[in-house]
Structure 1
Amino acid sequence: MAKLAFLGLGVMGFPMAGHLMAKGHEVTVYNRSPAKAEAWVTKHGGTSAATPKAAAEGKDVVLACVGNDDDLRSVCIGPDGAFAGMASGTLFVDHTTVSAAVTRELAHAAAGMGIGFVDAPVSGGQAGAENGVLSVMCGGSEADYARAEPVIAAYSRICRRIGESGAGQLAKMCNQIAIAGLVQGLSEALHFAEKAGLDGEAVVEVISQGAAGSWQMANRHKTMLAGHFEHGFAVDWMRKDLGICLSTADEVKASLPVTALVDQFYKDVQKMGGGRWDTSSLFARLRKLG
């Protein structure tokens, strides 16, 4: 069992940190809003700290799951950042979905202090975090990954090293690119079924057992048909992720025409007031269009 710190207690981090505690690790948490950290301690035990530095002091591994590039920098560097409290030979594991550029920047800074760094973005959503069955894609040295993997096992169904620093983030971009196309395709299929006068539930029951089946179809078609989108992974966060994908595509000279189009469809959903709706709300956009 290890001495751990977990930074960021949002819809993903809160249950992930809870799984670490349940596995017998010694866990100290930090959250930008202290009330969330206090609520976590009340539910799971452990302790909370007022700053990332204080949370990281004396820990073997520090994990983070925050919002974006700037949020990650803020918990890592500076006088109150986690790096300032970490000793040489310790390990930082980042579960945030961020750019590969900031990952490499922070991994380089950590290396200069003798701190290992693994980028380990996750897929599986809030339900995956709560049930401890996330898919985790990692970048970093083989040695650092070997130290991180037994800790990550507390909330993962699969965890794999993809390559060197930044490779985990690049793999997460592949994940989001695939999801964008899948959700739009599912939305169009359900929209077509409605317009054609078909029973959407009956259609999905049949086609989900064939080549069209997907996680999105199995887990989102019921709420889509019901017009319920107040759950899941928010459109605002998806647009953040797709922005990273599209920017990186320019850098590596990849062509992402469908991703770029779906990103604009999500922009339409934001204009409808659905920034906090689940990504499956692409269906709501089609319903509005008629």
Structure 2
Amino acid sequence: MSARDLRVGLIGLGNMGLAMAINLQKHRAANGLSPISINNRTISKCAQVEELGAVARDTPGSVAANSDVVFLSLVNDAAVKDIVTQLLDSLKDDSSTERLLIADTTTVHPSTTQWVLEEISRRQSEYTRPVSFAQTPVWGAPPAAKAAMLVFVTSGEAEGVLGEIAVPAFARVAISCGTDQIKAARYKILGNFMIASVIESLGEAMAVAEEAGIGRELYFEFIKEVFPVPPVMGYALKMVADNGEASKTQVGFNVPGGMKDVGYAIDVAREAGMRLPIAELAYEHLQWVKDNGGEKWDWSSLAYALRKEHQK
């Protein structure tokens, strides 16, 4: 079956999931494809996508019953385990023999990916419908998601089909990790570590530039001319703002989320017999922000932590 013939669902309408669902539905409607099925813990969040033609379902199981591919866009590992469990439970009453592919775009620890694979294998005998899983993380902040400019990572046996569904509907490119879902989880985590290391380096440089009499604004001119790429520019602009205020109000990825991903990167390195010293330092600075009232701030606020640390 081609990607065009597949019924698609999406569970989880947070900042990323909502943008992905909107773009998926718009793309499918414009190309004469079936509407997507959607579900969210707060069902009222489905309204914006319903207006475009999507079908809101009461439960994750109902999404699965009406889909061949179900994308997950969830907040953390616990939510992924909960939704996967609900999906598998629902299959006991599903007499279909058409394969269900669960594609998780959430950033999770590799052990969670392993748990999902083992759980699907363990429970496959409970139902007649075959189930496959793919770890398919995405890179890009909410503005990139809204613009359908995400970087989509594929894995698993049906990675080609997943890439066709995602690009150009909600992503600009698909990068293949082959059939290895654990590799895809590690790949995403180390990609996020790279972003965290950029934020840490920017924060340190901005703090020193301020104290050395250069100033954040002048240092930003160097960033603009030498590193004119969206992630670097975006975080640098927030750091230029006075007293870290932009990091408090322009939240793309919050401090607890940053700590989770940086912590996972430290774990991946440890499992490989290595260390990520920059990640360890970034984690300490994010912890400081969280402990000092910044739990809801953007993770670029670690630059604010560096300036405050100097002022002690």
- TM over 0.5, shorter chain: yes
Q: 1:131-156: per-residue Cα shift (whole Å, max 9, x none)?
A: 11111223323xx1011111111111
Say if 1:5 and 1:63, in contact at 8 Å, map to a contact too: yes
Partner of 1:267: 287
With over 3 angstroms needed to count, the CA separation of the structure-2 counterparts of 1:216 and 1:59, relative to structure 1, is: closer
Unaligned runs of 5+ in 1: none
Say if 2:109 and 2:185, in contact at 8 Å, map to a contact too: yes
Shift of 1:198: 2.3
1:140-219 correspondence to structure 2 within 5 Å: 140-141=156-157, 144-153=158-167, 154-163=169-178, 164-210=180-226, 214-219=229-234
Letter in 2 for 1:217: V
Partner of 1:277: 297
Letter in 2 for 1:29: I
Shift of 1:201: 2.6
- Residue 235 of structure 2 is aligned to residue 220 of structure 1: yes
Say if 1:77 and 1:83, in contact at 8 Å, map to a contact too: no
Partner of 2:71: 63
Letter in 2 for 1:284: Y
Unaligned runs of 5+ in 2: none
CA distance in 2, matches of 1:63, 1:20: 11
With over 3 angstroms needed to count, the CA separation of the structure-2 counterparts of 1:151 and 1:145, relative to structure 1, is: same
* TM-score normalised by length of structure 2: 0.84
Shifted more, 247-256 versus 228-237: the winner is: 247-256
With over 3 angstroms needed to count, the CA separation of the structure-2 counterparts of 1:87 and 1:6, relative to structure 1, is: farther
| Identity in percent | 26
CA distance in 1, matches of 2:118, 2:130: 10
1:122-141 correspondence to structure 2 within 5 Å: 122-141=138-157
Shift of 1:80: 7.2
Letter in 2 for 1:106: V
Shift of 1:214: 4.9
Partner of 1:16: 20
* TM-score normalised by length of structure 1: 0.90
With over 3 angstroms needed to count, the CA separation of the structure-2 counterparts of 1:51 and 1:194, relative to structure 1, is: same
- Residue 113 of structure 2 is aligned to residue 99 of structure 1: no
Say if 1:92 and 1:118, in contact at 8 Å, map to a contact too: yes
Considering only aligned residues, what root-mean-square deviation do their CA atoms show, in Å? 2.1
With over 3 angstroms needed to count, the CA separation of the structure-2 counterparts of 1:92 and 1:80, relative to structure 1, is: closer
CA distance in 2, matches of 1:79, 1:16: 20
CA distance in 1, matches of 2:170, 2:230: 19
Say if 1:140 and 1:167, in contact at 8 Å, map to a contact too: no
Q: Does the residue aligned with 2:181 lie in a helix, a strand or coil?
A: coil
Partner of 1:240: 260
